[in-house]
Amino acid sequence: MSRLIVVSNRVPDPQAGRTRAGGLAVALEQALKLRGGIWLGWSGEAVDDPSIEPKITEVGAVAYARLDLTPEEVQEYYNGFSNRVLWPLMHTRLDLTEFARNELAAYLAVNRRFAQAIAALLRDDDLVWIHDYHMIPLAAELRRLGVKNRIGYFHHIPWPAPDILTALPRHDDLVKALLEYDLVGLQTEADADNLFAYLTREYGLRSNGRGVVGWDDRSCRVAHFPIGIETEPFAKRARRAGRASFVREITESLMGRKMIIGVDRLDYSKGVPERMAAFEKLIELDPDLVNKVTYLQITPRSRSEVPEYAQIERAVSETAGRVNGRFGEANWTPIRYVNRAYGRTALAGLYRAADVGLVTPFRDGMNLVAKEYVAAQNPDNPGVLVLSRFAGAAAELEGAVLVNPYDCEGMARSIAKALNMPLEERLARWRINWERLVDNSIDVWAETFLVALEDSQLSFAGRLLGFMKSSDQRFGHSHRR
Ligand code: ADQ
């Protein structure tokens, strides 16, 4: 079995306590332990004169290789191009996309530095798996250094429609760099369709029917691999958490009221203020709910140095304050809004204690909270997932009550429906969702991606025969605009 090299913007610190490690980190570590290998990325530290070589910590068969960045790189590569250009663009928020050429230069430079660090550690047969939008040009940089290994990329966030992507100056460079991967994984079929639509429109490239596009002597397979969660272990955690004093205290404090839960990083893509407004509308439409339902919104701050995140923080606090001021009573706070992170077990227990899981992003690659909420439910008396149709998870979780986050009243009515849903319907909907989660847990996801990546060079000869391209449609020579 080939060794595995995982690359992501951040690498977990193997020496830090890991009670908060999410399913993705656990699954990647599992794959690394199985194959042996290296996890390389940013240490999270900013220093004036970072070493070119990563700090390496070995734990069993896995080496954690952590690179520092300069403060300017953090500002321009991370806060700038990654989080003020690619993040809003990929979430179809052109109004928030702030393109600056110096930030693009820093983004490319950091990718080049990562590529040099990886190339120095690489063996011929290693599989390389790169994660997320911070690292799109990494394969191109590695190829420039002569690396011939199989390199796969997984895009955790949505891939936008071609019209949106082409609003990015130098979008073609970004996509050309993407095509240097052997395998590009997206969350949903719709995301993959958006990328194919771009490739066809801009370059005249088409899939050979198996998701492979090619040009000159290279080829790239594009496919969707919906990410999952650690389904059974998370369900077990939730069962155990029901007995924990922390969760019991919270359920007792509800005094028999129903609970709605929302759990999100504080991010404008998650639609938190609009969700609170829908909760306000719900009480407005049904005043009988006064003092009968509590909405707990758990939202740790993220990316606080990016101005749009300070704005969303204000908007969420203001909306929660308005709703609580308007409907609250001395003995009832309609919205409990907390800005902190919880450990996995506490979170699992809170999901289980909630009658409704409210997940209403405007756009989301997948949304793992939706899946965690389902996994945490009591199979004999499950709560109801109310889910935005624009979350990647909506393509799989057919048992959810789907909502349009742009429609405040529609969301309010759907929450009411979820709160009043009879047990039989709750059971039927939950079972549909649970089965999807069992079939596609995160370890299955990781293995499926890696097997596809391993296969990607084996079928190379076959691909060359299958390409649907003509000489005037060749990538790089046939810009139609
Ligand atoms: P995120 O945008 O971060 O991920 P999501 O998929 O919901 O969104 O994952 C968030 C994770 O953080 C969940 O595991 C959740 O439990 C955890 N979390 C959130 N709030 C927390 C809190 N207060 N305390 C503790 N943990 C908390 C990106 C993409 C998603 C995609 C994932 C994975 O934006 O669309 O699903 O990557 O590919």
Nearest ligand 1 atom, CA 369: 7
Nearest ligand 1 atom, CA 187: 38
Ligand 1 pocket test target in 191, 299, 302, 368 with most atoms within 8 Å of CB: 368
E-strand spans in 31-178? 37-46, 55-59, 62-69, 127-131, 150-154
Residue 209 Cα to ligand 1 midpoint, Å, equals 33
Residue 456 Cα to ligand 1 midpoint, Å, equals 29
Helix and strand element counts for the chain (H, E)? 18, 15
The sign of the torsion formed by the CA atoms of 52, 57, 62, 64 equals negative
Share the mean pLDDT of the chain.
Answer: 92
**Is residue 406 scored above 60 in pLDDT?**
yes
- The residues pairing with 128 across neighbouring beta strands, listed in sequence order, are 5, 151
**Is residue 443 scored above 70 in pLDDT?**
yes
Residue 58 Cα to ligand 1 midpoint, Å, equals 27
Nearest ligand 1 atom, CA 23: 14
Q: Are 349 and 307 in contact (CB under 8 A)?
A: no
User: How would you class 95 by CB atoms within 10 Å of its CB: exposed for 0-12, middle for 13-18, buried for 19 or more?
Assistant: exposed
Domains of the chain with CATH codes: 4-228+443-473 (3.40.50.2000), 231-439 (3.40.50.2000)
The reported pLDDT for the residue numbered 289 is 96
- List CB contacts of 253: < 8 A, sequence separation 6 or more: none
Q: Are 229 and 372 in contact (CB under 8 A)?
A: yes
Residue with CA closest to ligand 1 atom 24: 341
pLDDT, tens only, 234-262: 999 999 998 889 999 999 999 999 999 99
Residue 166 Cα to ligand 1 midpoint, Å, equals 28
The reported pLDDT for the residue numbered 67 is 97
**Is residue 414 scored above 90 in pLDDT?**
yes
Query: What are the helix (H) ranges across 303-403?
Result: 307-327, 344-353, 368-376
* C-alpha distance across the termini of the chain, in Å: 44
- Residue ranges lining ligand 1, Cβ < 6 Å: 22, 24, 156-157, 227, 263, 265, 298, 300, 341-342, 347, 364-369, 372
Q: Are 351 and 373 in contact (CB under 8 A)?
A: yes
Residue 470's pLDDT band, with cuts at 50, 70 and 90, is: very low
Residue 369 Cα to ligand 1 midpoint, Å, equals 6
Residue with CA closest to ligand 1 atom 9: 368
Length of the chain: 481
Token pair 């979780």 in the structure block, residue? 397
User: How would you class 333 by CB atoms within 10 Å of its CB: exposed for 0-12, middle for 13-18, buried for 19 or more?
Assistant: middle
Residue with CA closest to ligand 1 atom 8: 367
Residue 481's pLDDT band, with cuts at 50, 70 and 90, is: very low
pLDDT, tens only, 143-164: 999 999 999 999 999 999 999 9
Q: Are 474 and 468 in contact (CB under 8 A)?
A: no
pLDDT, tens only, 315-373: 999 999 999 999 999 999 999 999 999 999 999 999 999 999 999 999 999 999 999 99
The reported pLDDT for the residue numbered 12 is 84
pLDDT, tens only, 87-143: 999 999 999 999 999 999 999 999 999 999 999 999 999 999 999 999 999 999 999
**Is residue 267 scored above 70 in pLDDT?**
yes
Its pTM stands at 0.94
Catalytic residues: 156, 364
C-alpha–C-alpha distance, residues 354 and 349, integer Å: 9
The reported pLDDT for the residue numbered 89 is 98
Nearest ligand 1 atom, CA 372: 16
Ligand 1 pocket test target in 231, 272, 367 with most atoms within 8 Å of CB: 367
